[in-house]
Structure 1
Amino acid sequence: MITIDIPNGEDLSTENKNFWMYFEERLGRVPNLYASMMHSKNALSNYYQFHTRKVSLTKKETEAIMLVVSEENQSFYCLSAHTMIGKLNGFSDEQIMQIRQGQVEFDHRLNALISFVKSVIAGRQKELNLLENCFNAGYNQENIIDILHVIGDGYMTNYTTKVLNVPIDFPIAEK
């Protein structure tokens, strides 16, 4: 299986060197996903600006969306990363599995969100009338736009890691 070479911090553009130092200082390492994006002079800066944008969702809601997108796309790199981040944001192992399976029993509002996200990914959002369920659960139009952007964010990273076969550098998520 072909994998992408992960840059080692040398021969990077100035902006990518700044990102490299930022992640080294903040995390103690550069995640392989971000390092792989450094093959392009612009990819990481463009992505990171989008990824770190403000959204009207909670961190838990955002992580739940990323877990569902990663599960549906079978992106084990992102699934592993977001399982760890989900735990850091207060989800238990059992709650993470419920989110991944699309049946959130512990939170009615989050269940409406996850059902909507799964239907968007499957292309059935109108058929299942789940947008109305989101509104009934308390989400508003701003939230819906942000939900769609988080889904898009997940697709960018899912396909980057899958196509390039980026080595997982997080604790491996349960399959």
Structure 2
Amino acid sequence: MKQFTVPTRNEVSPANQEIFDNLNKALGFVPNLYATIGLSSNGLGRYLAYQNAKTSLSNKEKEAVNLIVSQINGCIYCQSAHTVIGKMNGFTDEQVLDIRRGTATDAKLNALVQLAASITKNKGRADAATVDAFFAAGYTNEHLVDTVLQVSEKIAMNYLHNLTQIPVDFPVAPSLELTASVN
């Protein structure tokens, strides 16, 4: 398989160079997966606009979706990045691991994690009981749409890393034994 390397600032388009500069100012570095998206002249700007678009989901809910989807898709890069970001948004180490296993102690968040897992595993065909539990937990049609969009955003990143295998530049997430519900 082709070997991918992370492009440097000088190897990307002028538009992406500007985005690299902005990421450096905001984060102190350009994450390797973002840099890899920079191989596309328009991809990085397009992706960041999608990722940063307004949503009905809270940052904590978005991170729960990101964690379970990345776990199911076996993306160590995104598991690692979202372990860090999840903790920045209030999750404990154990809560991050629980979400990656497919559960959350908070009933409403658990319904979201279960739905995101079902959507991912079943290619968008979540089982009816899981969808019903999502709505019973207090989520709305708007939340459903935003959950599907969040799953799709994370799948794109999972697939890009799984194909390129570029180096993980976050503390590597611990491996875990998956429960039957996530497999």
TM over 0.5: yes
Partner residue, 1:29 = 29
Q: Does residue 10 of structure 1 match 2:10?
A: yes
Q: Does residue 107 of structure 1 match 2:96?
A: no
SS of the residue 2:139 aligns to: coil
Whole-Å Cα distance in 1 between the matches of residues 14 and 120 of structure 2? 37
Q: Does residue 134 of structure 1 match 2:134?
A: yes
SS of the residue 1:129 aligns to: helix
Q: Which digits, 9 at most, give the CA deviation of each residue in 1:110-168, with x for residues without a partner?
A: 11111111111122523x51111111100000000000000000101001111011110
Q: Which digits, 9 at most, give the CA deviation of each residue in 1:50-87, with x for residues without a partner?
A: 11100001100000000000000000000000000000
RMSD: 1.2
Equivalent positions of 1:11-160 (< 5 A) are 11-104=11-104, 106-123=105-122, 125-126=126-127, 128-160=128-160
Whole-Å Cα distance in 1 between the matches of residues 102 and 154 of structure 2? 16
Whole-Å Cα distance in 2 between the matches of residues 143 and 12 of structure 1? 36
Q: Which digits, 9 at most, give the CA deviation of each residue in 1:5-60, with x for residues without a partner?
A: 11121132121011110011111111000111111101111111111100001100
Whole-Å Cα distance in 1 between the matches of residues 121 and 11 of structure 2? 41
Match for 1:132: what amino acid? D
Whole-Å Cα distance in 2 between the matches of residues 49 and 151 of structure 1? 16
TM-score by length of 2: 0.91
Task: Answer with 143-152 or 1-10: which moved more.
Answer: 1-10
Whole-Å Cα distance in 1 between the matches of residues 155 and 23 of structure 2? 22
Count of residues in correspondence between the two structures: 173
